[in-house]
Amino acid sequence: MGVLHDDQRSFDFDDRLFTHVEIVVGLKPRRSEPFYLSWLPSRETGSGRHSVWISTGMPLGIGLNLSDEHSREPGQLKATPIESINR
């Protein structure tokens, strides 16, 4: 599982989705491109939609729990979403 931390909250993501989140959160603010990160929570954590504003002035932490049985493996990330990020 991957975890995204902002000032007050922590959000868990499955490994496949977290790989994409990690890349976007690393690229966009570095290019001074703030954005909303928005997702649907799992059924266990609630309903509705979560959104977080990501910008260069926002304290943000990213963590990956490598002890999970479903840890990330090389090659899981598809090239198509990354190409759309780099536009």
Predicted confidence band at 80 (pLDDT cuts at 50, 70, 90)? very low
The angle at the Cα of 80, spanning 52 to 6, to the nearest 5 degrees, equals: 15
Cβ atoms of 12 and 23 closer than 8 Å: no
pTM recorded for the entire structure: 0.59
Q: What is the pLDDT of residues 66-75, one digit of tens each?
A: 655 545 455 5
